[in-house]
Amino acid sequence: MQNVYFDNGATTKVLPQIATAMADAMVNNYGNPSSIYRLGQQGKEVLDDARERVAELLTASPKEIIFTGGGSEGDTMLLRGVAQAFSTKGKHIVTTAVEHHAILHTCQQLEKEGFTVTYLPVDEQGLVAPETVEAALTKETILISVMYANNEIGTIMPIKEIGAIARKHGILFHTDAVQAAGHIPIDVQADNIDLLTLTAHKFHGPKGTGAVYIRQGITLKPLIYGGAQEKGLRAGTENTSGILGLGLACSHAVEHMLENRRKITALRNKLIDGIRSNISGVRLNGHQEQRLPNNVNFSISDIEGETLLLLLDLAGIAASSGSACSAGALDPSHVLLAIGLSPELARGSLRLTLSEFTTEEEVDYLLVELPKIVERLRFSQLGIKKIGKVEKDVKLR
Ligand SMILES: *Cc1c(COP(=O)(O)O)cnc(C)c1O
């Protein structure tokens, strides 16, 4: 049995050279960046250097980069930071129905605090139409938040067009770019982005470290109060080793993006074609072309996602499904429901996400194992249905 990892949309392996550099920094470069002695200043140099590396990834200026504790924190910081700083101007926020829960749950909390939020629908490919964004704006709108690419189905949103609409109306535009950053080119200037979230662990950096981009001239309310770190927006002694890892992951992404995109896209296409031709009753979710290079998401009829994941795990395959088991009940994904899938089909979904470490052998292995598992599951499901029918017949008599 092999051990293959197809859940890079959930998190990725840290690049070994980054792990080594971080371990060295923890032991040898542990000074507090706020201290004036040399060891402290060396810590500050780590921050300055990493800020440049993050800025380069986004075509931003280092002054516009604030380090955070990851994607959820960054999303919360920006949404709440805007809401609190601009509530005298208006209390309306426009977002989409397919955002990550870090956005959706923050919006729901803001609604409890007196804000109004419009959750825009998407089409069957997962795209929000720029016209619907524009139509949703009111005099009260202070923020538009649309994710760069969807974490479940990989659809890449029309960010540039939405950014242009936001600019035209003088409204701030935020994008959760957690799935896109480090994977596809992002240019905050060309894309008209005012605020952006990213996190290191989705592109081979450490967990619990991320950054937000805040366009120069925008002043937000802080998320964490205390010291003056990160322009007073996020108090607390900086996670220097984590930030070092984030910076190195950004540079690695910049350097290898083109070749990795090419390689990963080819493997992804092989996976998609292989699943389509070896399993009946499958449907590729998300946009056919405008999707992340590493994302595959299929709905498989007459399959229950959670059971599929268990059997895949027994075969050494790590993947994720379109349902989350909460309190013993299977909740179909809000994203799959939003693109029009029935709850039943949404529960039978499989997400496979690749990385630069994914090999052709792993793809081949999956293409051998998955059809066998699906066939077995469908066969036993058929059996269960038959038994259910017999029991019903018995009861009727
Ligand atoms: C993973 C993810 C997040 C959360 O990032 P964390 O660093 O795990 O907090 C937010 N948004 C999207 C789209 C994600 O995929």
SS (H, E, C) 22-75: HHHHHHHCCCCCCCCCHHHHHHHHHHHHHHHHHHHHHCCCHHHEEEECCHHHHH
> What does the pLDDT look like over 216-241, one tens digit per residue?
999 999 999 999 999 999 999 999 99
Cα angle value 265/270/275 (rounded, 5°): 125
Atom 14 (ligand 1) nearest CA: 178
Best residue among 8, 68, 72 to mutate for probing ligand 1's pocket (most ligand atoms within 8 Å of CB) is 72
Q: State in Å: Cα 214 to ligand 1 middle.
A: 18
List the residue whose alpha carbon is closest to atom 5 of ligand 1: 71
What is the model's pLDDT at position 396? 47
Q: Whose CA is nearest to atom 3 of ligand 1?
A: 71
Question: Where residue 2 falls among pLDDT bands split at 50, 70, 90?
Answer: confident
What average pLDDT does this structure show over 8-37? 97
**What's residue 328's pLDDT?**
53
Tens digits of residue pLDDT in 59-72:
999 999 999 999 99
Q: What's the confidence (pLDDT) of residue 126?
A: 98
pLDDT band at 20 (very low <50, low <70, confident <90, very high): very high
In this predicted model, what pLDDT tens digit does every residue of 77-93 receive, in sequence order?
999 999 999 999 999 99
Share of the chain above pLDDT 70, in %: 94
Quickly state the pLDDT bin for 118 (edges 50, 70, 90).
very high
Task: Tell me, in angstroms, the distance from the centre of ligand 1 to residue 71's CA.
Answer: 5
Mean pLDDT of 365-390: 82
CB of 102 shorter than 6 A to ligand 1: yes
Distance 110 CA to ligand 1 centre (A): 19
What pLDDT does 381 receive? Answer: 73
CB of 106 shorter than 6 A to ligand 1: no
Residue 389 pLDDT > 60, yes or no?
no
**Ligand 1 in contact with 151 (CB < 6 A)?**
yes
Percent of the residues in the chain that have a pLDDT greater than 90, as a whole number: 91
From 135, 258, 325, 368, active-site residue: 325
Atom of ligand 1 nearest to the CA of 9: 15
Q: Which of 125-134, 239-248, 333-342, 372-381 has the lowest mean pLDDT?
A: 372-381
pLDDT at 96: 98
pLDDT at 324: 59
Residue 388 has pLDDT above 60, yes or no: no
Q: What is the pLDDT of residues 161-209, one digit of tens each?
A: 999 999 999 999 999 999 999 999 999 999 999 999 999 999 999 999 9
Quote the mean pLDDT of the chain.
94
Predicted pLDDT of residue 380: 83
Report residue 329's pLDDT band, with 50, 70 and 90 as the boundaries.
low
Residue nearest to atom 4 of ligand 1 (CA): 71
CB atoms within 10 A of CB 365: 18
DSSP-assigned beta bridge partners for residue 174? 145, 195
pLDDT band at residue 397, thresholds of 50, 70 and 90? very low
Question: Is there an atom of ligand 1 within 6 Å of 7 CB?
Answer: no
- What is the number of the ligand 1 atom nearest to the C-alpha of 199? 7
Q: Is 107 a catalytic residue?
A: no
Does ligand 1 lie within 6 Å of residue 98's CB atom?
no
210 lines ligand 1 (CB under 6 A): yes
